[in-house]
Amino acid sequence: MNTDWFVVLSALLFSTGAFGILLRRSPMVILLCLELMLNAGNLALVAFSRMVGNGQGQVFAVIVMVVAACEVVVGLGLIVAIFRRRLPLNVDDLRELRG
């Protein structure tokens, strides 16, 4: 398969994730959509790594995976903290920090 197929698929997955973030209001689903976007970036990184014939892009993808795992842990910790404080799990109601 040509590299452009993979890159276009990655762009499609990335915009699907962005679409989900724009549409959904539950913080849990927004975190899942963030995962979609990070994974789309990973797919592009690995595809470009194959295109160049150099393994360094795959190391980049592994590091992105680590960062995504950290993001999940902190995000889910925030969701649990919000839930414990009996606050609504809806990003429209959690607007105290908005300027």
String of DSSP letters for 12-44: HHHHHHHHHHHH---HHHHHHHHHHHHHHHHHH
Do the Cβ atoms of 32 and 25 come closer than 8 Å? no
* Rounded least distance, CB 80 to another protein, Å: 4
By CB under 8 A, tell whether 6 contacts another protein.
yes
From first CA to last CA, the distance across the chain in angstroms is 48
Within residues 29-88, the interface with another protein by CB under 8 A covers 29, 32-33, 35-36, 39, 42-43, 46-47, 49-53, 55-56, 58-59, 61-63, 65-74, 76-81, 83-86, 88
Residue (1 or 97) nearer to another protein, CB: 1
Question: Residues touching another protein: how many (CB under 8 A)?
Answer: 71
Give the angle 24-27-30 at the CA atoms, nearest 5°. Answer: 55
The residues in 18-37 that bind another protein, with binding defined as CB under 8 A, are 18-20, 22-26, 28-29, 32-33, 35-36
